[in-house]
Structure 1
């Protein structure tokens, strides 16, 4: 029995070291050498301080900034930790709303979002991503249509010429990956940081 047990233990130790230590360390090393920015979270810095990641959206509420799409993430209720409350772009609780297209709650929320966008005078055309949440609740991108629809409100709030803001948006539109994967998109955090740099 000992003759069978010894090779089994040796193999467990060997493969644990290979798959649990050597392989992850090798992949981490390759990632750090080949694409350290992406491997470290695609962090965006301003004046030496990390302000976010290009992969995770943020909640911009001010009219001076472009808004991202709605987020369905939640967090614990400060008054009662056994309950949850809306916490937009909560990266520790990534999730979608999981509401069916026929859900009354979803229909009511989308209609309320449409009314809110129009009432605030932020947009005059409603893009789908202006009123629907993403699957993760953390999507950092919006469609060019939604970004272009916000130009007037952002320019007015900042006292900037619309053409200047439009040019900024157009310069931040990223096309499909490899020309055919995904949809054109605008990273909201990068756009807002560039907006802050405008004079």
Structure 2
């Protein structure tokens, strides 16, 4: 047993140096080459600072709604709900979200609601929604803002992000950017 203690202590010390020191410094160095030096992508609008890459709560009818958050959009506690698709509490929450959406969007059928409008992402802070999730909200927003639906559709087209290199992922729309563009229509 004594012969194993010294190698175990050395392995622990090396692991601490690598994973707490070297790895942390390496990631910090890489972040310095990213936009805003790894501090997040910031948008400043009307003297208010928004973080583009963190989901934010938009639930008023005159805006595009965000994807639901399992952590109520608290970035300090980013996490999913850890409830599986057969969990009764999870199913009840999703059903409540569906009913809430249908109440505010009466022209939409239940079967047409995209899943990203009623289910939270794994992090609970996804800033993006699908093109379908944005498009299904056009009628509600156009009616409340008294804006032509084609103008809102154009904003969606202008703010759609294509898949990485044309084939990694799906088309998506950042809800914050979409709502800021919507505000410019006044």
Which TM-score applies when normalising by structure 1?
A: 0.75
Deviates more, 1:158-167 or 1:118-127: 118-127
Cross-structure match for 1:98? 82
1:56-95 paired onto structure 2 within 5 Å: 56-73=54-71, 88-95=72-79
Give structure 2 stretches of 5+ with no counterpart. 1-12
SS in 2 for 1:170: helix
The alignment status of 1:119 with 2:103, answered yes or no, reads yes
Which TM-score applies when normalising by structure 2?
A: 0.80
Larger Rg over CA atoms = 1
d(CA) in 2 for partners of 1:119 and 1:31? 43
d(CA) in 2 for partners of 1:123 and 1:142? 20
1:48 and 1:29, CA in 2 relative to 1: closer, same or farther beyond 3 A?
A: farther
1:193 and 1:99, CA in 2 relative to 1: closer, same or farther beyond 3 A?
A: same
d(CA) in 1 for partners of 2:107 and 2:67? 13
CA RMSD of aligned residues (A): 2.3
d(CA) in 1 for partners of 2:31 and 2:114? 37
Misfit runs of 4+, over 3 Å? 26-32
Cα deviation for residue 49 of structure 1 reads 3.5
Instruction: State the Cα deviation string for residues 69-105 of structure 1 (Å, max 9, x = none).
Output: 11111xxxxxxxxxxxxxx111111111111111111
1:108 and 1:170, CA in 2 relative to 1: closer, same or farther beyond 3 A?
A: same
